[in-house]
Amino acid sequence: MSSKAGINGLLNLRSSSPATESDVLTSEFYHTHLMICNALFNLKGRVALVTGGGSGIGLMITQALAVNGAKVYIVGRSEEKLERVAQTYGKDQVNDGEIIPITADIIDKKEIARLYKEISEREKCLCILVNNAGTSGETFESSFDDWERVYRPNVGQIFFLTTAFLPLLQKSADIYSDYSGTVINIASVSGLLKTAQHHFQYNTSKAAAIHLTRILANEVASNRFKIRVNSISPGVFPSEMTTEGSGEDQRSYIPKDQYADKLPAGRPGKDEDIARAVIFLVVEQYIKGQNLVIDGGYSLVAGY
């Protein structure tokens, strides 16, 4: 039975004519078909933009989207790093996904405008925007300039990049039925905890990012945009920020036993943990303005 037949059957049920047994069976097939994983989590043909997609959590997100069929533009300042990711992970995608590098400094409004122009000339819409790029900072010895250097990418960039791309994100709802563009801001569980962890500016910037997500979600909804804004707060995951480096494959590694007794999960986060969270927020149309904590129980131990 074709999908067209299923849709026609559903339309018949909604008409004024009496429903037949065949109509009911067709409708049941249609709704059952929608529950299949491939239908629920289909990203084929979707266009995504991931900032900081060259390493760490950004790379995990990039791979998750691309391997499931999305065309993913990765943005960062290091052309060499981005090209290496595209060459290493952009080939032989099982669902025709792509990884396309674009070099840009997204804490500069002129660079954001240039990036928007380039994407809008290439694509009819943007379905997914992941604001992942960020930085940490000094521990105790810091200045006002140090705080600004952390807040520009961790908070300001989220605002300016998101607002710049609203028109292109809105167009995704016009092209794909029953779909709204999505913005996912990568915050941190550190933005929720009561402890400073020796990173005052980083932790407070992530708290600001979580609250900014709520504000943006409300403003976007109030202005009738068909765009969802949510955030993810990861716990301990391997990245250049947590391990102070990465290998030739752009990946960072944390020994499992390093957190065996420190986290309820008994391990640091894995690539697939981030992948599932991101794909869930990309496809779930009924979540707006929420913060999804993926921390292996870290916040249970550290406390809010």
Catalytic residue positions, numbered: 202
- In 3D space, the residue among 292, 202, 271 whose CA is nearest the CA of residue 57 turns out to be 271
Q: Which residues contact 23 (CB under 8 A, 6 or more apart)?
A: 9, 12, 13
Q: Which residues contact 135 (CB under 8 A, 6 or more apart)?
A: 149, 150, 153, 154, 202, 241
- On the 0-12 / 13-18 / 19+ scale of CB atoms within 10 A, 197 is exposed
For residues 89 and 63, the answer to whether their CB atoms sit within 8 Å is yes
The 98-103 sheet, strands edge to edge: 98-103, 71-76, 47-51, 128-131, 181-186, 227-234, 291-294
Measured CA to CA, the distance from residue 135 to residue 203 in angstroms comes to 11
Q: Where are the beta strands (DSSP E) in 52-156?
A: 71-76, 98-103, 128-131
Count of Cβ atoms closer than 10 Å to residue 280 Cβ = 15
For tokens 């084929």, the residue is 44
| Phi, psi angles (nearest 5°) of residue 75 | -125, 140
Based on its alpha-carbon atoms, the radius of gyration of the chain, rounded to whole angstroms, reads: 21
